[in-house]
Amino acid sequence: MPNDPINSEELQMFRDMVLRFLEQEVLPHYDTWEKNHHTPREIWNTLGNAGVLLVDMPEKYGAAEASFDVCQMIQEEMCRLGLHGLATGYNIHANIVAPYILNIGTEQQKDRWLPPMVSGDVLTALAMTEPGAGSDVAGMRTSAVKDGDEYILNGSKTFITNGNMADMIIVCAKTDTTAGAKGISLFLVDTSLPGFSTGKPIEKIGQHSSDTAELFFESMRLPSDALLGEENRGFAYLMQELPRERLGCAAQAIGHAQGALELTVDYVSDRKAFGQSIGQFQNTRFKLAQCHTELELCRAMLEKHMVKYKQSAMTVTDAAMLKLAATEMQLTMVNECLQLFGGYGYTDEYPISRFYRDARVQTIYAGSSEIMKEVIARGILGRG
Extract the runs of DSSP E, i.e. beta strands, from the chain.
Answer: 124-127, 143-147, 150-161, 168-174, 184-190, 196-198, 212-223, 227-228, 272-273, 276-277
Query: CATH no. for residue 225?
Result: 2.40.110.10
Cα dihedral angle (121, 25, 75, 295), rounded to 10 degrees? -170
Closest CA to 337 of 255, 279, 260: 260
3 lies in some domain: no
Q: Which residues contact 29 (CB under 8 A, 6 or more apart)?
A: none
Q: How many CB atoms lie within 10 A of CB 259?
A: 24
Alpha-carbon dihedral of residues 366, 371, 375, 380, nearest 10 degrees? 140
Query: pLDDT tens digits, residue range 169-199?
Result: 999 999 998 998 899 999 999 999 999 999 9
Are 228 and 241 in a shared domain?
no
Distance CA 293, CA 204 (A): 31
Question: What pLDDT, in 10s, does the model give residues 111-131?
Answer: 999 999 999 999 999 999 998
Task: Report pLDDT digits (tens) over 273-289.
Answer: 898 999 999 999 999 99
| Domain CATH number, residue 355 | 1.20.140.10
Question: How many domains, in total, are found in the chain?
Answer: 3
pLDDT at position 144 is: 97
State residue 210's pLDDT score.
97
Residues marked as catalytic: 245
- Alpha helices in 91-171, H assignment, sequence order: 98-104, 107-119
Domain of residue 287 covers 235-381
Angle at which helix 107-119 crosses helix 42-49, to 10 degrees, equals 100
In the prediction, which pLDDT does 134 show?
66
Positions in the chain short of pLDDT 50: 1-5, 384
How far is residue 294's CA from residue 284's CA, in Å, rounded to a whole number?
A: 16
Whether residue 376 is found in the same domain as residue 239: yes
Output phi, psi for 223, to 5 deg: -65, 155
Of the residues 65, 99, 122, which one is the last residue of a structural domain?
A: 122
19 and 97 housed in the same domain: yes
Q: Strand pairing of 276-277 and 196-198?
A: unpaired
